[in-house]
Amino acid sequence: MIQSAYERGAQLGQFIGGAIRDGRGVPYDVIDPATEAVLATVRGASEADVAEALAGAEAGMREWRALSPQQRYRVLLRSAEELRARSAEIARTLSMEQGKTLAEALAEVEGSAETFEFFAAEVLRINGSILPARTAGAWQTVTMRPIGVAACFTPWNFPLLLSARKVAPALAAGCACVLKPAEETIGAPLAMAECLAAAGVPAGAISVLHGDAPRISAEMIAARAVGVVTFTGSTGIGRIVARTAAEALKPCVLELGGHAPVVVLDDVDVEAAATAAVLGKTRNAGQVCTSPTRFFVARPVYNDFVEAFGAKLGAVRIGRGIAEGSQMGALANARRLAAAESLVEDATARGARLVTGGTREGNQGFLFRPTLLADVPADARVLQEEPFCPIALAMPYDSVDEAVARANAVDVGLAGYVMGRDFARAQAVAQRLEVGQVAINNFAVSHVEAPFGGLKESGYGFECSSEAVRTFMSRQYIHHVAA
């Protein structure tokens, strides 16, 4: 059987200079969230490690940007092939460190490979322009150039896919990347860096650093070679990153939290909607910034929907990600388990009805049962605080205007959903939701070919789509008159 990096006892350290080597910083443990066993003890990146990676990034970027677009295209395509060739092993590593099921981990590897393919193709489409000359014989040209080293920060919920969504367009633009993944989930991003190196990305053009996150991130953002900062994670840390980037006058993309509403219209197919909602809610154990959470349900179908949704959620088999038959894995860390328990306690104390779940599974590992709370009162903390765990909330509404107003009554605006048979009605509701992306009658709101980003405190800038490459590019205008 194919073993994970942890089972093989593979070296897991810092990826600097084209290979993994031990860091020189403070050691810390990587934990299996399903068992709480220590998977590995690794040393974090020291100041010297960060400085070495940044110096290597400058040199690596010179080499990388000097390749022709056709050469960079082929390297990025080969990166996708390398990821696919190692998908079983990388998925197992990812499942063990993050908690998600093997099927989810395999889908994440495939999505990451697709991301490299998409941005490989974009390399061939980066064009500048020639402007009509103001004076006879003059040349006025605009060229697109890599903006500098990309400082990339990614969270633990999709450690591979979210890293690919930053690194692939940055490399496509000709930038080098210094990637800092979350400390919980370093195995998959390190494997990605190995795949890129094997595909031909020059040493230094990709490094992976982790350990003391606040120190490492401050050092990365302040470095002169760094031209752009891109962060996915919590709103709280996003504010810190944005402040640090502003101080250093670096442009910044922020993908932060969400608290997705679902407007269930009265013409909905209740059974189909409940089935889809279970898959949407339990995906990655609810630890998704677009996870459907606040279900506003038309009163005539409210009881039927709550009953069907609760019954189906209660039937989901939870267990260790790598165990056969698990349909939902563990939460990624103890912080999420504590948050889940506290949000349920607060909501039920204020009068919410617990339909299913609400408690931890077993007493070892961070497994939490899929949970449905109905009739959630307006003052429950969970209605404002992103649960980031498998908790769904159901509330009845009497008019679509009321549902839309309540759906929009949060500080974040990332994703939203509408469920209903009538095409025009569902579209009209979707357009009134103050969010960056909406799915109707399904829960897939993010694809590499479409822009992905949030409004309000969900951040600014966007990822994915052809345009994402431009985040990593500067423009140079040259006005040339004959001497």
Residues making contact with ligand NAD (CB under 6 A):
153, 155-157, 182-183, 213-214, 217, 232-234, 236-237, 240-241, 255-257, 289, 335, 386, 388
User: Closer CB to ligand NAD, residue 104 or residue 183?
Assistant: 183
Output the smallest distance, CB 145 to ligand NAD, in A: 27
Contact 195, 82 (CB under 8 A): yes
Dihedral (Cα; 223, 227, 232, 236), 10-degree rounding? 60
Nearest to 392 by CA among 290, 306, 292, 268: 292
CA distance 251 to 235: 17
User: Closer CB to ligand NAD, residue 151 or residue 298?
Assistant: 151
The Cα-based distances of 218 to 47, 245, 263, 349 in angstroms read 11, 9, 41, 41
Contact 122, 172 (CB under 8 A): yes
Buried b or exposed e, range 19-34, using 16+ CB within 10 angstroms: ebeebbbeebebbbbb
Output the smallest distance, CB 68 to ligand NAD, in A: 35
User: Closer CB to ligand NAD, residue 273 or residue 288?
Assistant: 288
Output the smallest distance, CB 52 to ligand NAD, in A: 19
User: Closer CB to ligand NAD, residue 73 or residue 93?
Assistant: 93
Active site residue 289: yes
Return the bridge partners of 416, or none: 438
Return the bridge partners of 27, or none: 43
Output the smallest distance, CB 153 to ligand NAD, in A: 5
Catalytic residue among 255, 386, 457, 463: 255
Name the helix (H) or strand (E) containing 454: none
Contact 30, 210 (CB under 8 A): no
* H helical segments located in 148-248: 161-172, 187-199, 213-222, 235-247
Catalytic residue among 152, 289, 389, 464: 289
CA distance 175 to 291: 32
User: Closer CB to ligand NAD, residue 159 or residue 396?
Assistant: 159
The residue with its CB nearest to ligand NAD is 234
Output the smallest distance, CB 334 to ligand NAD, in A: 9
Output the smallest distance, CB 163 to ligand NAD, in A: 12
> Is residue 450 exposed (0-12), middle (13-18) or buried (19+ Cβ within 10 Å)?
exposed
User: Closer CB to ligand NAD, residue 4 or residue 290?
Assistant: 290
Active site residue 255: yes
Q: Which sequence positions are flagged as catalytic?
A: 255, 289
